[in-house]
Each structure stands twice: as structure tokens, then as C-alpha cells.
Chain A
Amino acid sequence: MGEVIVITSGKGGVGKTTTTANIGTGLAATGKKVCLVDTDIGLRNLDVVLGLENRIVYDIVDVTSGVCRIRQALIKDKRFEGLHLLPAAQTKDKTAVNPEQMMVLCEELKKEFDFVIIDCPAGIEQGFKNAIAGADRAIVVTTPEVSAVRDADRIIGLLEAAELRDPKLIINRLRPKMVKHGDMMSIDDMIEILAIDLLGVVPEDDQVVVTTNKGETVVRDEKSQSGQAYRNITRRILGESVPLMNLEEPGGFINTLRRMIGLK
């Protein structure tokens, strides 16, 4: 019996879909059977992020409304044996699926896959309720901005109200240099405010844009920092204890100066 994990954030544009794609790919690369489910009905995106946009025949609404069987709607990834995508419908809206149908769908998928990763739409309305309905645990994605952390806080409250206890936090697009200069909230600042466990920190990285442009995931990029961050997150999801990677660049004039006058 597999596990259903929902990736959510409240605010849009913080990297839910990118996170879903990378965690999914990362888990599949370790040999797990993974199904990614895009629940952003009307604004389908996970397919293009994964580079699978040309292979969609059926979608999630076709499955829940009984037009096709689950197996027919699943798209198999070309690069990773165990990776599958259940795409969202593009021409319908969020009310085309209800939470009860999602619970049934998740139960079915759990029988087949080790991990079912659900990409939640932005907002707190029906799309959100659908996405969390069948989930066993939740991952909240935020960026170091007041608006994103505020929305994350609201989402954490709603997850608890829905009895999805103990959600984990991913801080995305952190810019260590700005944190160092006191111009961006730090990891500790956000953990303190949100009071939940940290699952990982992904630094801002141009390589995410480059790989996404090509329909690939950065988690497979051995050299990039963000790829390393996603690989660490994947291992933590699998239960390993992996220390946070060092995001600071060693050396540098300011660092040396600070050490010299004893500020660090």
C-alpha cells in the first residue's frame, strides 16, 4: 500500500509544480513506483514541466466521471521506468471533480504505486479541498516573502482542520547572499514563525529555469545546488536523515573581514 502526499502552498507561483515534478522524478530515480497527479483543473501545467504535454489522451476528469479507466489515462515517463502522470483536464473547472471522487481515486492509485504525489492548485477553494481529500501527508511550499509565508500559515491551519497533521515545509528560492545581508528572511525566521518541521531548502537557481525550459527536472542535474537540494528532500521523504546542505559560499572578502573582527 503506497502513500499519498499532497504538495500545497496557498499562494501561486512559489514552485508547487516544480517541486512535485522534482520529488516525483527523484523518487522514481531510486526505483520507486510513482504517480504524479495534477489537480489544477483548468490550468494544467505539470505535463509541460515534465515534458509530457504531447502524450495526453485522457485526463483526471475522464477518470472520475468514468469515461476511461485509470490505467488508460496514466502517461508513462520516457526516462524513468516507474514514473507516471495523471494529467489535469484543461477545458473544465475545479468543480468537475469532488473530494469524494478524489478519495476513491487516491485509494485506487495507492494499490498500484509506492508514492502518489498530488500537485495542488493555488487557493483554498474546491481545488485545494480536492487535492487534500485523499492525502496521507502534506508538504507546504513557501518562498522567503511575507505574502508566501502568510499564505503558508493559512494553509497549515486548514490542513490541521482537515486532520492532515504534521505537514512539512519546503523553503523554495532562498537566496543565501540576501539572507546574509539581512535582506531576506532566513530559514530559522520562517521555521520560528510557522512552527512546523523543515523538509528541505531549495536555493534560487538558474538551472531550474534551464531544465524546465527543456521539459526536464533539475533533480537529475548532478552539478546544480537545487538538484542536490531536491535529491536530499527525496531521501528525507524516504525516511533517511540527511543534514541540510551548506548554502553559504565559503571565503569572500566580507566573510574574512567578519571573522577578522570577530563578528562571526
Chain B
Amino acid sequence: MKKVIMGNHSVSHGVMASEVKVISAYPITPQTHIVELLSEMCGNGDIDAKFIKVESEHSAMAACVGASAAGSRAFTATSSQGLLLMHEMLHWAVGARLPIVLANVNRAVGPPWSIWTDQNDSLSQRDVGWLQIYCESNQETQDTIPQAFKIAEELQMPVMIVLDAFFLSHTYEIVDIITKEEVRKFLPEYKPEIKIDTKDPHSFGNLGGPDVYMELRYMIQEAMEKGIDVIKRVDKEFEEVFGRGYGLIQPYRCDDAETILVTSGTVSSTTRAVIDQMRDEGIKIGSLKIRVFRPFPFEEVFEVLSKAKKVAVIDRNISFGNGGIFYQEIKSALYGRTDIPIVGYIAGLGGRDITPSVIREIADKAIGDDKPERYINWIGVKK
């Protein structure tokens, strides 16, 4: 059934259709609608889940850890400072290999206090070990939730799905709403081999000496690497049932493109409009949306970008002392191809709008500058 709904509610519908058993969350702008609707769904019986109210995001994730360890499908949603407060427990979910799904609404980190979007909250969790999938539309957001559970449960790894504050979270779009009955054809019931069972007590998360620690970490990396194929396969299985697929990355008019703009999140849609405009002008330009950030799809990205003459990366984030975080990833993906200049553009921090003219400015700069002096460029800073 098609409905016009907001991005946050797309998440809620995805969670409902995935028949999650435990939801624990703490409210934070701009995420709150997600759990508000979920609590209503729990209240009126649309979803047979336990909704656990907690006093902080740290506890929210701790509750999900407990629920997942006990064999339940668990979900939480958060944003910005909330995600940062969860940090310790995010590590725990990975180390304990728990297939929790978290929706993070990208919101800039304070101070100065901000409620508007940028990616520094989720990207600062880059090395924790969560899979990260960045969404672009309400439809994609909803569809990614059951995908995320399937991926997570197969890999026994937690998955974070990420959406932009306001540009997605509060924007209404037409969404073909999926139902539990449909999702059952795609996502099987979660029946973990290992779970906490009071009748068969083991110690979980106990002391692991130097003789076992590395092996456990090795297995996490192994799961991440295996993740690329699993995500691809799960996406295909989803497409078979629902007729929609999203891939690891989404190249747009890249086949003969000399310049490729690399994007993520909602900026990707705006960029495509600019690409079409420039193509009409005869400029050979394309764009590449990175959907799956962890595990990073090195091969797929190399495959697309290695054919270009120039790559421009738009980052709505900043790793201070280095540069854009996607920029670093793209550089490492193209390692060895010194013939392709890769230029980074920092734009849209703290919710500053990235309009078509901003993207056009970046594209023109990238094309016009054959030997850029700076590889980290700030767009729109009042100097």
C-alpha cells in the first residue's frame, strides 16, 4: 500500500514489518518520531514487541544487547549525542556478535548545539565494527530495515542504517509500505544457535586472555569481509520479493564519465539532477553514491572510479587533521592509481543546505582545476 509518510516513519514501518521483538530507545531530535510511532504500534498491538523505556541511549543499547543475547530481534534508533553516548555499548554489540539493528538519524554534534544534519556522529563510530548503510530516500530507508536484519542475523553482526536529519527524517515522500506477511517471504524468523538460556548457563562476555582475543577479532573482520557478498545477495533476494534493490553503491551515468562526483545520503539525489543538467550541456560527468560504508566495497568502487579521469568527493563530515572521511576511503580504494586526481570537498556541515548550485560549483571546480593545489576544499565558508 502506498502512502505519503515521513522518513522517520519509514523506519518505523520497516521495523514493524520485520517483526522485531524488543525495541528500546531514548528520545532525541530528530529521531523521536521513529520510536514514537513504534511505541504506538506496540501499544495498539500492530507489532508484538516489548518496548523498553530507558533513561539513556547507553541503556537503550544495553537493553538491545541483553535482548539480542537472549535470542530476540532487537532494534533501537538514535541520533548524534545519543549515538555517542552509546559508544561503549556499540563495541559490546560487536564483540558479543549480536545482530542488532540501529537507525541513526545523522545530526551534527555539539557544541555549538545543533539539530541539523551532518555525518560526523555515525562516521565517528566508523571503527567500532558496525555495518553502516547510508540511505537516500524514504522508500530505501524502509526497505533497508528488513535487509539489515537479514544481513545482521546471517553475519551475527550489528547493522546501523543512517539517514539525514530533516532532509530525510522529516521529509514526506510516497512509500510503498511493506507488510509483515510480505517480509516473512524474505526474512526468516530469528533463531540463533547460541543464546542466553537459564537452563544451560554459560558465561558471556567473560575474560578472554591474549590466547583467544585476536582470534575473536579476526572473526569479526572475516564477517565484515564476507558481508560484501551477503549484502549483495540479500539485496537481490529483497528485489525478488519486492521488485526493488539498492546495491552496495549506485553509479549514475558513469560509463563514459571523465569526472565522477562521489556522494552519500540525500545529496546523491540532488547531485543526479545536476549531472543531468551538465550532461545536457555536453559535459561528461557522472556520480557515484556510496550506500554501504562498512564493510567498504573497495572492488565495486574501484571498478567504477578507475575508468574516470578525475574524482571529486563530497563529504558532509570532517575528520579534523585529515579531511573528509569518504574522501579518505575513496583514496584508499584507488590506491596505486596516481593518474587519477582525487579531490575532497567539505560541504553542508551542521545542516547547511547543499543545493544544486553548490554541487555545480564543486563540479565546475573539479573539472576546471587540473592540478589542484589543495586536496581538501571547503565549500561556502565565509572567509
Mutual binders A and B: no
